[in-house]
Structure 1
Amino acid sequence: MTTLHDTEVDGVRCFWVDTGRPTLAARLAFRSGIADEDITESGWQHLIEHAALDRFPRGGTVDINGHVTLTDTAFDFHGDGADVGEHLARLTRWLAAPAFERLDHEIGVLRAEADVRGSSPLARALSWRYGARGPGLAAYAEPGLGRASQDELAERVGRVFTVGNAVLILDGPPPPDLRIELPAGDLRPLVEAVPVESPPAAYEEGSGIVVSGTVPREGPMFVGVEVLQRVLVERLRHEEGGAYAPWTNYERVDRETAVVTAGSDIRPELTAGIVDTTLGLLDELAAAGPREEWVTETVDRIVRGMRDPYAAIGVAMGAGMRYLHGREPETLDQMVERVRATTVAGLAEGFGQVRESVLLGAPPGTDAQRRLRMLQFPRTAPAASGRAFRSINWPADTSRLRLADHAIQVSDEQSAIEARYDDVVGLMVHEDGARTALRADGYSVTVDPRVWTDGHRAVDEIDSRVPAARHLPHPPLPGDAPQRAGLLGRWWPAVRRRLSSPRATYVGVLGLYLLFAVGFVGSMIKFGGGPTGIVVIALVWGAVAVHRALREGLADSS
């Protein structure tokens, strides 16, 4: 029987279970994570976690790790009980008086980590739903790192890493001489996750098929995701033979809401029908729920894992994280009871909630737009005022960069994409001189001064319009530098475009007819006779007929 103990160590709430092991595993967690940052400070929590652990010797007798999730930051230690206690004391002494002697070094390490890690399908799904705020920040490569300073980081540490905002989790009794030295502070509430899109909808996803939807956090769908993975493996891998590794995820994004996400690689021969297959599966699960035997087997497997003596620390982990998230901690019996309460009907309701709030990432080559509204950059009418910049390849490229009073716009002849200055949450200041204005909804407008005539003046004006606190140092744009085409390359496409337009066709055909008429009349005169009245009337009538036909065709094409 695993007994959950609830106590305090120097004012820090502590949950522990006695596993009887000769070593001690400890986690000191704090209620602040990726979703608590904004884009201009994204990566600071991760940077603090790295800096805090940088002072411990590498390859010592204590296993050390740290991580930052959407909602929390945690430090893990495992080893001899006395050594773990000393490491916790050393960590908290640093958190009480942080110093960042190797700040540039740690920033470099994190940027290298971001390059290796890249963006995952799960992170992109969160970004499509939440934009460039809250959980959506998981999709960005921590662009706020370039703005981090020692003073601002120290202020963050003093505000977040406090007694009231921490929980200590152990798999054995607290060492008698354990000391936690943290400043006073209160538990920080979870930030509400606010969507920027209205589901159901779809977007293009290159990794395969991805579906996500929101459900109540306290509902049964933490079990449902396990059943869903089995459903996907059975259908896509064993029946269709078109996938290797379907996956699912259950992510708590705030106090009331969790996001269920699932996805899979897809073989090319299944691509055309994968949208119908995926939505059909969700519809089936929402209508009738999963197979009852699958639910029973999944529940039994989860409960068996909970009761495994080797996994007993999971009880303390669950209780500790519920406390950090403002919920009542649960004992093992309460955890098991909640899992056992899962029913087919309850999961059907949960899958219905996923279906109603679904965002579907579909690979290229599907017809997702036939089933769902496709998410794309909203377009607006081009501004009538503001400073305009032509492409360096005008007139072949007729697009315009316009810096209006309210926004940055890039437009063609019909419409524009824009980033309003009051909605720019971050301005990426690229090393090659380019600027990317990131909107709160995650869409962005990039201005490369090498693409526009007098582009450096445009960049200077953008820099002055966006507050300096939102400027984010960023690597160069990928790819080769844009090149200006030669004289023929710039003008010949424009001439061809003019010649192929309906108006040019109108003028050309009418001109050819008139040329024919003049030539015909001239020939009659040359060979001894002027045009008769009937011939003149016929030629005029023909000219009028050609004019009317071409004018109607021109009107139809406009």
Structure 2
Amino acid sequence: MSRRSVAAAATSSLLGRLVMDWLRHQQGAAYSPSSDYTRLDGTTAITSLVADGPLAKGAEAAWTAYSAFTTFAENGPPANYVADYRDQAERYAQEVHAPLGELSRLSDELVHGLACTPAEQISAETAALTPDSIRQCAADMLRTAVVQVPNATDPPAWSLLRYTAPDQTSLVGAHAVRRRKYRNVERWSSGEELAYSESVVGLRQGHVAAQAVTLDQHTVMLAYADGSRSLIDLVGRQLLVRPTAWDQGTDVIAWLDQVVPPERTVSPGVRWLLPAGSAPEALRSAIANGRTVSKSPIEVGPIHLDAWAWSTESTRRSPISAGHCRVR
């Protein structure tokens, strides 16, 4: 498997959800697993395992998560896991309001803003589950897992990113593009302007500096099929850039595709979308599993993929000083 082939193949979204649910219950708050599915063909997924907690405990938590994932992929679920899950799903399917309530937990359609999966379809998928199909799904997801761990941790694969202390980054002299008139649903990466230079990309909101991502030989870029790009630096800082959110956004994306080499580009598929009209706070809570980041990334540890949170400490470390442009 090449380094660019990082999209995991899961036979269905239900299988991927089963794997993530099991890992959450096994490890509790030790880390935050998530899955990013594309529903274009129903097969592509990328898995993110992110350690929570102080930096000193981050490495241990990350390795615990990775070990649990590895064990699950090798051995599959416990003997009673499939039967218990099937019984639970059948109880939900028999409830009057299940298709609009509990069944949404078993389906990814709602988080994509689509109609809820019919109870009959979920019952059929659940009835077809086997321990081996779940194990195979976990193995596929494990091969392409993106795991963020603290600095000085020896990674078992290329996709585990090292962390280092952030440098003083500045966007002085950077180019800047304005946000379009409308506000996008996914606004955890919102700002009045997107500024970029040869070494830094970042956001600015008024005169308040926002977090910046360093562009260097270690920067990883997630290239989504919808044209969006997420930049991740060694510190774990991440910036989501949607071409439709900014004037000249398409040009910025094309420039990023040239700056970041193919060997540092990951193509996970389409991002996990929430229904139109969701508040930024709800998005931030849903994508980041309810965790609020209020300290430096160095103190908090790895940052969840596709999550955005303002940080006073990281703002001081990463000032954005580019020209100011108001939203039209």
Q: TM-score, normalised by structure 1?
A: 0.28
Q: TM-score, normalised by structure 2?
A: 0.43
Q: Per chain length, whose mean CA-contact separation is higher, i.e. which structure has more relative contact order (CA < 8 Å, sep 6+)? A: 2
* Structure exhibiting the larger radius of gyration computed from Cα positions: 1
